[in-house]
Amino acid sequence: MEKTTYRQALHDGLYDTLKSDPKTFLIGEDVGRYGGSYAVSKGMLQEFGEERIKDTPLSESVFTGLGIGAAMGGMHPIVEIMTCNFALLALDQITNNAGTLRHMSGGQITIPLVIRISTGAGRQLAAQHSHSWEGWFSHIPGIKIISPATVTDARYMLQAAVKDPNPVLLFEQAALYNMEGNLEDVREVDISKARVLKEGSDISFITYGASVYKCLEAAEELEKLKVSAEVIDLRSLRPLDMPTILTSVTKTHRALIVDEGWRSGSLSAEIAARISEECFYELDAPVLRVCSEEIPMPYAKELEQKSMPQTSSILQAAKESLHGGY
Amino acid sequence: MEKTTYRQALHDGLYDTLKSDPKTFLIGEDVGRYGGSYAVSKGMLQEFGEERIKDTPLSESVFTGLGIGAAMGGMHPIVEIMTCNFALLALDQITNNAGTLRHMSGGQITIPLVIRISTGAGRQLAAQHSHSWEGWFSHIPGIKIISPATVTDARYMLQAAVKDPNPVLLFEQAALYNMEGNLEDVREVDISKARVLKEGSDISFITYGASVYKCLEAAEELEKLKVSAEVIDLRSLRPLDMPTILTSVTKTHRALIVDEGWRSGSLSAEIAARISEECFYELDAPVLRVCSEEIPMPYAKELEQKSMPQTSSILQAAKESLHGGY
Amino acid sequence: MASKERTTVEQKIKEQLSVEEAKQILFDMIRIRELEEASAQQYSEGKIRGFLHLYIGEEPIAATILPLLKPQDQFFGTYREHAHALMKGITARSIMAEMFGKVEGCSKGRGGSMHIFDLSKSFYGGNAIVAGHLPLAIGMALANKMQKNDLISICFFGEGAIAEGEFHESMNMAKLWKLPVLFVCENNYYAMGTALERSESQTNLIEKAKSYKVEAKRVNGRNVAEIKEAAKQAIDFVRSEQQPYFLEAQTYRLVAHSMFDSQQYRSKEEVEYWKKHHDPIAEYIHQLKCLGWVNSNEIKEMQDKAKTEMDDAISYAQAGTTEDFQSCMQDVLIGEY
Amino acid sequence: MASKERTTVEQKIKEQLSVEEAKQILFDMIRIRELEEASAQQYSEGKIRGFLHLYIGEEPIAATILPLLKPQDQFFGTYREHAHALMKGITARSIMAEMFGKVEGCSKGRGGSMHIFDLSKSFYGGNAIVAGHLPLAIGMALANKMQKNDLISICFFGEGAIAEGEFHESMNMAKLWKLPVLFVCENNYYAMGTALERSESQTNLIEKAKSYKVEAKRVNGRNVAEIKEAAKQAIDFVRSEQQPYFLEAQTYRLVAHSMFDSQQYRSKEEVEYWKKHHDPIAEYIHQLKCLGWVNSNEIKEMQDKAKTEMDDAISYAQAGTTEDFQSCMQDVLIGEY
Ligand SMILES: Cc1ncc(C[n+]2csc(CCOP(=O)(O)OP(=O)(O)O)c2C)c(N)n1
Ligand SMILES: Cc1ncc(C[n+]2csc(CCOP(=O)(O)OP(=O)(O)O)c2C)c(N)n1
Ligand SMILES: [Mg+2]
Ligand SMILES: [Mg+2]
């Protein structure tokens, strides 16, 4: 197994995609000359030229809509929105066009579009650059939402997304760009399935993205206490892979969802609601959630860290679930 | 008790507000000369003049942001966004500014702003004019969200919202504009509390807006079967009045949430998750949800009606909860 | 209209159009009018619901411009698009069935009046978020350009859309990236009840377009020959230069914005004046008659034919069926989900 | 700079500024430079984190314009706002503490470098959604106008913001509603790595502003006297005419966009050329020396004083405390929730 970083894996995946599919091209702010705000597309302009690596003006709404239109025209655009915090400017296009046009036209329109968006806190970028809105956006029918947590997924999810005939939002985890990991020996990944990263029998941790590592850490801690936690990386936030989730909870009878989004109305709520709906009688304890505090993300390091799910808060919630803190 | 329509009640509430608070003014598309797209502000221009009834260009993002700025400057603007479907264009302003500035500035900024937005389906306006996104928007910290279901609330909620020092989104139910109802003999309403519209002991229906009437109808049907359903009108979607919800569920041991939003990631998910978290051991059955189908709203009447919560689907879900359909 | 002016108009018709063409355009204008009147009628009978926006008074624009396109050139329009759909070759049957909410409609009855789509005619809506389709049109233009398929996209919108940020961003990107898109602004001076001077600080829309260095021209939207001349030039320019172009057609909506509109914002006199003096079909008939290009019999024939077409469309729509709900649950995503 | 040109520059200084004023502006430019260099230093030591955007090379703009405002005139700026904060009277201590994430900072350490707020100085950020603060500024202008308080709002942004729809909608509404707002566009020719000619089809920004019928003027952002003259006129115009005004100050960012930027998009030579020939502080010092208005001793004194101010600010920030987390959970809404 090869070692690589999350950033490099994303870069390589992007490179391969552009190389293998001549209908693809990358557009977004500073994807070209600057090399991508997180350096994922560094060197691409030199490699693929201006025709396929297109720096845009600061116009999130329209370059996203332009991607939708180009996809309708048979291309396979890859749009980059620097961070999800700016994606609200494009949310009309994503929702009312990308997510709607196929159905509204009676199934005539196809939109093979990928939108790459970075997400997440932990880098002290404060309240207009730090939120995790992928769960929030997963309310929208007509789009898929995926987010890689591992370098392998970082490497191959984009290719799978580009092959998917639907609009796919791929959320890159800003906190993981520098993470090193082992690239598994695969050539592609299936973006429809969640993945059990660690098997366990006493409690199911359901999570995705950067929180995966905190859950794994918490699970390790729990092993010391002879508690066996299962850790599920959702990978796809819309649609949700419910069979994998339900199989796990049916086995462990306890579920804890860890979600970096603001708690109220987060993806964690949907998952909790579904677990209760679909395997209520299997549950030995209420489904619990560890989410971000419902405040605009503060800048100060300590405050930011306290606002986010942490290994310690996961552990605490797990113990509550196991011992019935109620 | 006086009879009035929901539209007239909103109109009268707006009139009183403008009359009593000289810092208020109304801005939005066609609020003036056209009389408001739903005729709520009909006659206001003639009454209050151009200074206070301001027709805007089609610029949702900026006239909303302008409202925020004017509120920061000490005014009490009332912004109207025609429907929530267009509100995505203003969601950056609502989230990154209205919901964020106070906290991010260390508590210095105050934004006494009200945004009126119409919402909901049932009028065959299809996929770009029919959605219910108030639940979706209730993910945002730093704002309040309310929605009147009764003519009394339609009459007095705006005044309460204007008096509130926070940004408040008031969602008007498009399906109810023509509804007649009895105006209660009050002079103000408290926008922080849910309201039990019908007491019951066997199951709690938790809902708001136009679905309230479907729930009441279903409850009436259930009476015939000797089942006593309690119906709660949430009134405030953010923050949620959890004490009222939990008191009810603790009494009935069964909960059914009816929400016209798309099911996944709807407000109903949050409420279901919280009920499970906070009174899991009181539940005799899983918390169930009746929501809209996860499709862009179709135009054809029959399809539209089938996509939305209906008395029949509420009844069916209630029976499932009561008899344990699992 | 002064008689001097009229002569010029007729001169221009002779310059720009053959008799056949001129008559075809008249016939199409009549068809559009009949379609719109039939729609209004069906609305009042409760067969059509939701919002219904009519094109009465604006017919020359769609009737003249759309036939100049290649069939595969992609059209993007607003909710006020029945006329454009008809001109792009969608049958009245398909349009009417759509408005009736029947599965036989081009969008399976899911879209209704505001969302007519027919990709076999390269007709991309029927879009009801004002200015939300501009980015789609420039994206399509980019796809055309990259695929070197010699197609252009054409995007219609009202003058109200110009205030939206999407207009600004789209014009800029279209010019920056040299995208082959023809923007057609149907300036009917009102956005619902908001008059142009309350929606734009600069009411000269050509100046606005030029501020992006986009080529721009204004035409009288009731003058068929002028529209044809300008639109042909514009289409040729877009296709050959691979650059955007902005065409403003000044017009007037002779009817309400939609069936919900009580028109508080303009006087009855104003509307009556326009109806009486500037109904574009009456004007055009008068011009062609002066030229001796049509006679009353032919016009009557056209009207009858158009009426028959619309009656047939209504029968067709009436006989249609509602989509099965299970089927309507499809097409959200492709594949299982 | 050619010597003829130089003479003109110096002429203009004499025309526009008293010796005292001129020296004050120089001192402020030096203070800004010292603040920015101290910030960069603290960043490299890990005391400041997140994004840090420096104003080095652009100092004359804030140093000249901000003192012309009334203290209560409301300022709205971008993430590149340390200089403006200092000029609006926020202490270096308060700014530095904010960047250190300390509760003693003006935003309690919640905002950091990008979100400096101090309402006691009418300083409204520190906004980091590009162009997202323009609507706030025009809204504030409306509030001022309605309250007839004789205040204006002033809104700074980079040329990159012009491509956003929010610019378009804001300019239009500001002009339509005659709002007393001064827009100041700091055109440093790059938005991160995107050069103006790749971000605007029309690179003449004055033409862009005028397309909304907004009064507009361009100044050389390194020419203090020119800035002062134009800004004073602009402020007077906005206040007395109750109309918007657009002022473009052409400038050059001598440093990276932020501490994350490796500047692939421009050559080292380009940056070196600007540093060597157009460092605005060096230029201004040269001009004032030619005029005999300052000498090296005085400059040294200014630098020492500024350094002392910044050292003190750092000590203050260093000694500060982090906000208590429970306190940080406040201020989301007012009242119980
Ligand atoms: C983003 C958005 N805002 C508001 C509306 C409501 N609306 C529908 S049509 C319209 C007026 C548009 O006027 P114009 O662009 O001039 O086109 P016209 O109707 O005159 O053809 C408005 C405000 C909408 N559909 N979308
Ligand atoms: C809406 C939005 N899009 C993108 C960004 C990322 N971003 C931050 S600064 C910047 C460049 C802005 O350039 P300009 O407006 O010229 O100001 P400058 O930094 O040159 O002072 C970009 C793209 C952002 N903060 N907000
Ligand atoms: Mg119009
Ligand atoms: Mg710049």
Q: Point out the catalytic residue in the list B11, B76, B129, B131.
A: B129
Res. B326: pLDDT tops 50: no
Which secondary structure element, helix H or strand E, spans residue A24, and what is its range? strand A24-28
Residues of A numbered 65-94 whose beta carbons fall under 8 angstroms of chain D's beta carbons: which are they? 85-86, 89
Q: Point out the catalytic residue in the list A11, A29, A76, A129.
A: A129
ipTM topping 0.90: yes
Mean pLDDT of chain B: 97
Provide block-wise average pLDDT over 10 residues at a time, chain A (326 residues).
Answer: 95 98 98 97 98 98 99 98 98 98 98 98 97 98 98 98 98 98 97 98 98 98 97 98 98 98 98 97 97 98 98 97 70
Q: How far apart are CA A142 and CA A149, in angstroms?
A: 23
Question: What digits encode the pLDDT tens for the residues D16-47?
Answer: 999 999 999 999 999 999 999 999 999 999 99
Residues of A numbered 121-180 whose beta carbons fall under 8 angstroms of chain C's beta carbons: which are they? 141-144, 164-166
Task: State how beta strands B180-183 and B2-5 pair.
Answer: antiparallel
Q: How far apart are CA B229 and CA B216, in angstroms?
A: 9
Question: What digits encode the pLDDT tens for the residues D307-321?
Answer: 999 999 999 999 999
Which residue on chain B is closest to C193 by alpha carbon? B34
A278 counts as catalytic: no
Q: What tokens appear for B116 in the block?
A: 């009126």
Task: State how beta strands C123-127 and C117-118 pair.
Answer: antiparallel
| Cross-chain CB nearest to A300 (options D199, D261, D323) | D323
Average pLDDT over residues D143-172: 98
Place of tokens 């603790």: B250
Mean pLDDT of chain D: 97
Question: What digits encode the pLDDT tens for the residues C16-33?
Answer: 999 999 999 999 999 999
Decide: residue B253, CB within 10 A, 0-12 exposed, 13-18 middle, 19+ buried: middle
| Contacting subunits of D (3+ beta carbon pairs below 8 A) | A, B, C
A172 counts as catalytic: no
Whether D116 has its CB under 8 Å from any CB of chain A: the answer is no
Q: What tokens appear for B75 in the block?
A: 């005014």
Q: How far apart are CA D173 and CA D152, in angstroms?
A: 16
In angstroms and rounded to an integer, the radius of gyration of the C-alpha atoms of chain A is 19
Res. D91: pLDDT tops 80: yes
Question: What digits encode the pLDDT tens for the residues B159-208?
Answer: 999 999 999 999 999 999 999 999 999 999 999 999 999 999 999 999 99
| Cross-chain CB nearest to A264 (options B86, B138, B287) | B138
User: What angle is formed at CA D16 by the lines to CA D12 and CA D18, rounded to 5 degrees?
Assistant: 115
Q: Which of D185, D192, D255 to mutate to test the pocket of ligand 2 (most atoms within 8 A of CB)?
A: D192
Higher pLDDT, C84 or D337: C84
Res. D232: pLDDT tops 60: yes
Q: What tokens appear for C121 in the block?
A: 């005619």
**Which residues does a 6 A CB cutoff place in the pocket of ligand 2?**
A 29, 58, 60, 82, 86, 89; D 80, 128-130, 157-161, 186, 188, 190-192, 257
* AA identity, residue D73: D
Least confident span in A72-76, A211-215, C187-191, D1-5: D1-5
User: What angle is formed at CA A179 by the lines to CA A175 and CA A182, rounded to 5 degrees?
Assistant: 140
Confidence at residue D260, expressed as pLDDT on a 0 to 100 scale: 87
Question: What digits encode the pLDDT tens for the residues B1-39?
Answer: 799 999 999 999 999 999 999 999 999 999 999 999 999
| Cross-chain CB nearest to B296 (options A86, A89, A141) | A141
Confidence at residue D6, expressed as pLDDT on a 0 to 100 scale: 66
Residue C4: pLDDT band by 50, 70, 90 thresholds?
low
Decide: residue A16, CB within 10 A, 0-12 exposed, 13-18 middle, 19+ buried: middle
DSSP letter, residue C77: E
Helices (H), chain D: 3-16, 19-44, 59-65, 82-87, 92-99, 134-147, 165-176, 196-199, 205-210, 224-241, 268-278, 280-291, 296-319, 325-328
Confidence at residue C240, expressed as pLDDT on a 0 to 100 scale: 98
In chain A, what residues touch C74 (CB-CB under 8 Å)?
73
| Contacting subunits of B (3+ beta carbon pairs below 8 A) | A, C, D
Question: What digits encode the pLDDT tens for the residues C302-328?
Answer: 999 999 999 999 999 999 999 999 999
Question: What digits encode the pLDDT tens for the residues C119-150?
Answer: 999 999 999 999 999 999 999 999 999 999 99
Q: What tokens appear for A93 in the block?
A: 């296009």
Res. C290: pLDDT tops 80: yes
Place of tokens 């490497």: A155
Q: How far apart are CA A56 and CA A60, in angstroms?
A: 9
Question: What digits encode the pLDDT tens for the residues C45-93?
Answer: 999 999 999 999 999 999 999 999 999 999 999 999 999 999 999 999 9
Confidence at residue D7, expressed as pLDDT on a 0 to 100 scale: 73
Confidence at residue C5, expressed as pLDDT on a 0 to 100 scale: 66
Confidence at residue B321, expressed as pLDDT on a 0 to 100 scale: 95
Confidence at residue B324, expressed as pLDDT on a 0 to 100 scale: 67
Average pLDDT over residues D147-173: 98
Q: Which residues have C-beta within 8 Å of that of residue D303, sequence separation ≥ 6?
A: D30, D34
Count other C-beta atoms under 10 Å from residue D237's C-beta: 18
Confidence at residue B325, expressed as pLDDT on a 0 to 100 scale: 44
Which secondary structure element, helix H or strand E, spans residue A205, and what is its range? strand A203-207
- CA A90 to chain CA mean position, Å: 18
> How long is chain B?
326
Which secondary structure element, helix H or strand E, spans residue C86, and what is its range? helix C82-87
In chain B, what residues touch A100 (CB-CB under 8 Å)?
127-128, 296
C81 touches C288 (CB < 8 A):
no
Confidence at residue C6, expressed as pLDDT on a 0 to 100 scale: 66
Residue D88: pLDDT band by 50, 70, 90 thresholds?
very high
Sign of CA dihedral A86, A87, A91, A94: positive
pTM: 0.98
